[in-house]
Structure 1
Amino acid sequence: MPFTTGFTFTTLPRSHSDPSKFHRLTTLYKSFRLRSLRLSPESFGSTYAREAAFPWDTWTCRLSNPLATTVVAYKTASSPSLASEMNSTPAAGVPMPPDDASLDAALDAEWLASLTILGPLDAATLATSLHLDPDLVDLGSSQQQQQQHILSGMYVVPSARGEKLGVRILEHVKDLIASGAGSRGQGGARVSLVVDYDNAAARSTYERCGFGVVHRYWFDDYREGRGARTEAAVMVLDIGGGSLNDL
């Protein structure tokens, strides 16, 4: 069978029976996040200095958060059938934690991209979950039966850009969310995110995956190298049971 080079997407486990393995996973997760903040500070609302000072418990809590699902991508040479198996989800629609072999492969690989899904969340508190003032932000109409999710921490390392990895990991995560909504008998799911409006490359990636801007607002920006105020965009995507055309 011919082998091809592609990307493997792995959902990080929230815990592990082997404490040393979970410690190693947390170390890699922390290192990738701090590297992202250091290489592309303009892409995040947080800063390297802030998160480098976090105690260890903060990193383990991020991984073990029951409402947070983190997916990482790395390059691998594998057969198409193997790649499909490693990216599968169970019938229940919940992201499948990797088995030990797949987790070991992820631990030994160079992570090229990462993305965290927060949810399902309460629609009534969605704006607050995005750290926005609900009285000032319009997130568009949303069907009551829709699950609400937030995408956070999206990052692709500079060396992996130009290979549509951003689109690929977003499409993978969309499948996870759709599967989860279907397994719970929901009419659909809404996915929201916030991005700096002047980050045209990021907005373009989200738009290629079906996201649309529903609100723009200005905020006081304290990040190094930025102006005093920055315009941000709230982007949403309805997966099943709804459409951006209904907004």
Structure 2
Amino acid sequence: MPFEIIQIPRDDTSVRLYVERYKAFRLLSLKTDPDAFGSNYAREAAFTDDVWYQRLANPQVTTFLALQSDQVVCMISIAGPLPCTPEESTPSKDPWTILSGDPKYVATQSHYRMIGMFTLPTARGQGIATAIIAKALQFGVHEAAKSGKSFVASIAVEHDNPVAIGLYKKCGFKTIVKEPWFRDRPRIALLLKYSPTSEVGEIPVE
């Protein structure tokens, strides 16, 4: 089935247009596959409307939606540039917290974290996830170029999620960190890194 990928603008009109769909899909993601995220449904269901609005309006976060027949079937956000390199960050730390790091940090690269990635089970196997990741990576490369810095991305995933790990490796990510993660229960978290100039290759194009 055909699909389209849209980038949600951060102006007030656009945020108000999409915020309810964003909220609904995020909560559906947390309910459908609770082990795939660092957060959980109960925590985010308690968010106020202002929290959801600020997530979409945040100038350091850009969100992409994949639509089929006007239904949201996949979503990803890309946050950055972060005040740290992938090697200096951690897979278990809340990326929204990382964004508010040391303002005096001088970056040599533009490091972006991919967050909130989820595809509805009924929409998997159609190339949608690969396409939306490519869009997010292309956005990051473009933004990094504006600052004259090289682009690098990271994404966190639980170690026993082989489908997600396989997807990210297909898109050019490689594992750089493995660590314990104890938010709701004992887990092992992985941090994967993507760099267009490394041996992992170029940004995939669907």
Q: Are the aligned partners of 2:91 and 2:157 in contact in 1 as well (CA < 8 Å)?
A: no
* 1:180 counterpart (143, 146, 167): 143
Aligned to 2:189: 232
Shift of 1:202: 0.2
The one-letter code of the counterpart of 1:64 is A
Shift of 1:130: 5.9
Aligned to 1:80: none
The one-letter code of the counterpart of 2:40 is T
* 1:210 counterpart (172, 175, 180): 172
Q: RMSD over aligned Cα, in angstroms? A: 2.3
* 1:38 counterpart (31, 34, 50): 31
SS in 1 for 2:5: strand
SS in 2 for 1:70: strand
Q: Are the aligned partners of 2:155 and 2:192 in contact in 1 as well (CA < 8 Å)?
A: yes
SS in 2 for 1:42: helix
- Tell me whether 1:71 sits opposite 2:64 in the alignment: yes
CA distance in 1, matches of 2:52, 2:60: 15
* 2:6 counterpart (5, 10, 25): 10
Please tell me whether Structure 1 or Structure 2 has the larger radius of gyration of its CA atoms: 1
CA distance in 1, matches of 2:132, 2:59: 21
Stretches of structure 2 that go unaligned for 5 or more consecutive residues are 95-106, 202-206
SS in 2 for 1:117: strand
* 1:112 counterpart (73, 92, 98): 73
CA distance in 2, matches of 1:172, 1:153: 15
Aligned to 1:161: 124
Return the TM-score normalized by structure 1. Answer: 0.70
Q: Are the aligned partners of 2:91 and 2:156 in contact in 1 as well (CA < 8 Å)?
A: no
Aligned to 2:53: 60
Return the TM-score normalized by structure 2. Answer: 0.83
**May I ask how many residue pairs the two structures share in their alignment?**
188
Q: How big is each residue's C-alpha offset from its partner over 1:80-107, in whole Å with a ceiling of 9 and x where there is no partner?
A: xxxxxxxxxxxxxxxxxxxxxxxxxxxx
Identity %: 29
Stretches of structure 1 that go unaligned for 5 or more consecutive residues are 77-108, 133-143, 223-227
Given the superposition, is the C-alpha separation of residues 6 and 207 from structure 1 closer, same or farther in structure 2, using an over 3 Å criterion?
Answer: same
